[in-house]
Amino acid sequence: MRAEDVGARTWLYAGLAGWALCVWILAMFGMGGSIDRLGDDPSLRQALPEPSAPGAQRLGPMAQYGDVAARPLFTDNRRPQPFVIDPMGEAEGASNDFDYVLSSVLRTPALQMVILQPAGGGDPVRVKLGDAPGTAPGWVLQSVAARSAVFAGPEGERSLELRVFDGTGGQAPTPMSSPIAAPGPGGPASAAMADADMAAPRATGGSQPSQKADEDAMGAAAPADAASAAAQQQAAQEQVEMIRRRIEERRARLRQEDRARSGQPANENQ
């Protein structure tokens, strides 16, 4: 085999084998056999630092700090104020002070919050999932559903149902009477005509003019009934539209308040 036909890998293996052979021969002649630890040399040791003298006592006797108790720093008049710390009493008072009504529920992928209204009246309280009302710190909001919320406190879990509008307060609704359907095959006019036909005497001769007069009267009353029904239907539609606008305005106000708390710019179109 000619030398020019030898590959680079073969030359690498040959070099490694030659290096290993040289190391083995040197080891046979005693390479590495004379390695030993040096003896102790006191001149190489470093002296330890000398300890410093203890400093003077920084705190003086207790009598030196009498003004701290006689003139407290965090009071307005710099005079001692009596106070009592009773954690158990505060916890009991907070647990018995949970008297709220669930007025609104807000559920989004990033936020779940409810709005509580004190049962005795007052400002509404906003509570996020996992938080507690300020006046009832022992009651934590555990879960929020579409029309209910569950709070957990010292007395266990308490579920609040969404308050339903009972008709008191706000603008009075448009008065409506009983709906009257338009005249037709099943309308009041047809029923009245049927009652008139049944009440009419089932005789011939003189009873026919009276029956014809009753039918003419019912035909004249039918347009008036249709106009009244149309007016009542329009009033009902206006009332429904007014309620829908109130709901949209309240939802928009809640979205603006939520964005203001989260620091996002308000956008009425969303």
Range of the domain at 106: 87-161
Q: For the segment 99-144, what is each residue's pLDDT rounded down to a tens digit?
A: 888 988 988 888 899 999 888 888 888 999 989 888 888 888 989 9
- pLDDT grade for 180, boundaries at 50, 70 and 90: very low
Give yes or no: residues 258 and 192 share one domain.
Answer: yes
Cα(141)–Cα(112) distance, integer angstroms:
10
Could you tell me if residue 144 is inside a domain? yes
Across 136-226, where does the E strand assignment appear? 140-144, 148-153, 156-161
Cα(182)–Cα(189) distance, integer angstroms:
8
In contact, 215 and 196? CB cutoff 8 Å: yes
Provide the b/e sequence for 196-235 (b: ≥16 CB within 10 Å). eeeeeeeeeeeeeeeeeebeeebeeebeebbeebeebeee
Task: Work out the percent of the chain whose per-residue pLDDT is above 70.
Answer: 67
The Cα-based distances of 108 to 14, 145, 241, 262 in angstroms read 73, 11, 26, 13
Mean pLDDT over the full length of the chain: 75
Structure tokens at 245: 């606008």
How does DSSP classify residue 42? Answer: G
Could you tell me if residue 216 is inside a domain? yes
CATH assignment of the domain containing 94: 2.30.30
Query: With the CA atoms of 29, 32, 34 and 36 taken in that order, what torsion angle do they form, in degrees rounded to the nearest 10?
Result: -170
Could you tell me if residue 1 is inside a domain? no
- pLDDT grade for 174, boundaries at 50, 70 and 90: low
Residue 17 has pLDDT above 90, yes or no: yes
Give yes or no: residues 94 and 156 share one domain.
Answer: yes
Spell out the residues 6+ positions from residue 131 whose beta carbon is closer than 8 angstroms to its own: 140, 141
Could you tell me if residue 22 is inside a domain? no
Number of domains comprising the chain: 2
Give yes or no: residues 195 and 245 share one domain.
Answer: yes
Q: For the segment 240-266, what is each residue's pLDDT rounded down to a tens digit?
A: 899 999 999 999 999 988 888 887 654
Could you tell me if residue 257 is inside a domain? yes
pLDDT given for residue 175 in this prediction = 66
Q: Is the dihedral of CA 74, 81, 91, 141 positive or negative?
A: negative
Residue 162 β-bridge partners: 102
